[in-house]
Structure formats: structure tokens, C-alpha cells
Amino acid sequence: MLRRIFNREFASAIKRIKSYSVTCENKFCDYAENEESNAPSDESWRILFFGSDKFAAESLKALHSKYKDKKLVRHLEIVTAYQGQENCLTKYARKNKIPLHVWPPEISEGKFDIGIVVSFGHLIPEKIINKFPLGMINVHASLLPRWRGAAPICHALINGDTYTGISIMKIAPKKFDIGSVIMQQRIEIHPDDTQIELYDKLSKLGAEVLLRTVDKLPNILNSAQSQDEKEVSNAPKITKDTSFVNWAIMTAKNVCDLQRGLNGIYPLRTYFNNVPVKILNVKLVTDTSNIPHVHEKTPGITVYDKSTKKLYVCCKDDTWVSVEKIVIPDHRPLNSQAFGSGYIMNTKEKYCLFG
């Protein structure tokens, strides 16, 4: 087996090449794939799996099912990183009696064929990558090179993307998400998808695409293509600061997309009387007929309509969102009626300003 692996460059030179396409950000990226790399392999592999969360757990379960069936996976062990409380991978490993290593692992030469990384969060050093004859591959939740980084799902939603996908790439040392792409699959983003729904969809899709990749090892590795650096966009880690709305530069759709992208992580925040407050259940307003008239439609202007008991906030380009609940520090949550009555209707201007 190893002889065939190390001689694959020679083998690829005599194979008949055909092209196929996978969808990337705004265009089709041509990948070269040969007939052998497109065909399932009869091999089963010794795999060391690196992961840390529920997204990774879907891929681990898929690999473990193949191990139990004695197909594709001949041996499986897990590397994870946790402090104190166990994560879902450690629990799964102990329940299913899968050998478990805590990061960083001590890896014996020749024990594994390939390393598989899914939502791990640690940069893999070259000395570990070199322990695997087939190298290491990663399941990434975007169509690379779009949304490199720790939070591709969040940034796809925040940006208002209409589709995203899964990329299987080779792990390269020194930087995250720069390796050559082996396989991709696109998925549409539904207008109502939030971070929670899209995370679930992509974790399942990632497991499926990973199994298809493993099924075509080792020859599928020959079809890997370098990422186009001109098309790179970054998806840095989400922080609390990400949740603050900038009314002056964000349209109503932008605000709603931010809420979708942060759902389950952070609520939206803004400033009211120089105090940070949470704004919950923000919705896009398409019918503005009930919005009380204001002379200056400054972004952040907030008004209350008694007839509908709704709170409306002006955004960029005279677009509007409604807000169902406000949470002021050291106060109980206020619904739109309570906030409107207490902070808007008793003022001379009949509005307040967020931001």
C-alpha cells in the first residue's frame, strides 16, 4: 500500500484526466479529477481524529459507524482538547471505548495512515502532520477560500450569503485553512436559517462529504487544488463586540442578518442612554404604514406605535426593524409596550435614540 502511495505522482501521469466543477463563492472552480480518484477504494484506514465540539461529533460518529461495519475505517482513535469539564467527544469516546488522547498527542511512527481534523481549534504543527503517510485533512464549513477562519457559518449569515458549503482540504502547517482543496459541496442558505439551523445542516453535510473523501483515498488526494488567494475572505472568531448594531451603516436587512448569524451565541446589543442594552426578536419591517412620523429619520431613532404595540428602529437608507424586547442592565426584560410607554411616550419628542 505504501509503495503505491509514494509512487502516486508517477501513477497520475498515466491516468486519463477529466475535469469537473464544484461551486465556490461566486463562480465555478475547475478541479482536475481522474477516473481512479473518482472511484471508491477497497482500502480501510487507520485514522486519528482531531475534534472538540458537536460539529466534529457528527463526523466522528460517521467514521465510527464505518469502523463498526469494518468498512473504510480499520482503526480509530481520538484527539481532543478540553479543560475541566469533558466535551461531547470525550464522552462519546468513553461510551464507545475509543482510545482517547488529550492535546497535544504523542503519536507513534507508523500507527496511523491519516489524520482527520474537524472543528479542532488548534494549529497542527508540521512534526505531527508528518507522522501520517497520507498527511492530514480537514472538514471546513465554507466554500474555501471564502470564509477562512474560526467562524465561517456566522460570517456567511452575517454577510447575507445565499449559499455556503463544505470543503475538504489538506492540512498545511503554520496557518489555518490555507491547504489545497480536495472536495467541496454546496448548500443553499434558506432566508430563515439562523446560526443554529445552518450549523446543524453543515455538520451533517460535513460528515457525508468526509466519508465520500475517505472512500476515495488515497487517489483523491491527487486532485487537490490550491486556493485562489485573490478570492480569500476571513471569518474571525465571534466576540461580544460583534453583537453591537451600528445603525448608521447597517440597513434593516443587515441588522436581521447579524441576528441570524449570532443566534444561539450572543443577542444583539445597542446603546441606550450610554448604557449597553440587549435587543431581542428583531424583525424586518416591510410595511412602514404604522410607523409614527418623525421629522428626522436618523439611524437609531426609535419610535413606538400604540395601535400595534410595536417598537420600531430606523436603520440606514430609511429601512426599519421592529424590536419585541429590550433588556436593560439591572432591570427585568421589557416588552415593546412597556419600553414604549416608559421611555418614549412620556417624552416631548415621542422618540428615543439607540446607538
> Nearest 5°: phi and psi at 202?
-75, -30
C-alpha cell of 349?
419628542
CATH superfamily of domain region 240-353: Formyl transferase, C-terminal domain (3.10.25.10)
The residue-averaged pLDDT of 232-245 equals: 98
Please check whether the domain covering 9-231 is classified as CATH 3.40.50.170.
Answer: yes
- pLDDT recorded at residue 328: 97
| Per-residue pLDDT tens over the stretch 143-168 | 999 999 999 999 999 999 999 999 99
- pLDDT recorded at residue 296: 84
State how beta strands 301-305 and 352-353 pair: antiparallel
- pLDDT recorded at residue 122: 95
Sign of the alpha-carbon dihedral angle for 75, 117, 160, 243: positive
| Per-residue pLDDT tens over the stretch 55-68 | 999 999 999 999 99
Dist. CA 225–CA 207, nearest whole Å: 21
Predicted confidence band at 37 (pLDDT cuts at 50, 70, 90)? low
Dist. CA 226–CA 175, nearest whole Å: 14
The residue-averaged pLDDT of 242-251 equals: 98
Q: What is the amino acid identity at position 237?
A: K
Domain range annotation of the chain: 9-231, 240-353
Dist. CA 170–CA 160, nearest whole Å: 28
- pLDDT recorded at residue 18: 31
Residue 1: which of 108, 110, 128 has the closest Cα?
A: 110
| Per-residue pLDDT tens over the stretch 119-128 | 999 999 999 9
Dist. CA 69–CA 11, nearest whole Å: 30
Dist. CA 216–CA 99, nearest whole Å: 25
| Per-residue pLDDT tens over the stretch 293-345 | 988 889 999 999 999 999 999 999 999 999 999 999 999 999 999 999 999 99
Predicted confidence band at 84 (pLDDT cuts at 50, 70, 90)? confident
- pTM for this one? 0.88
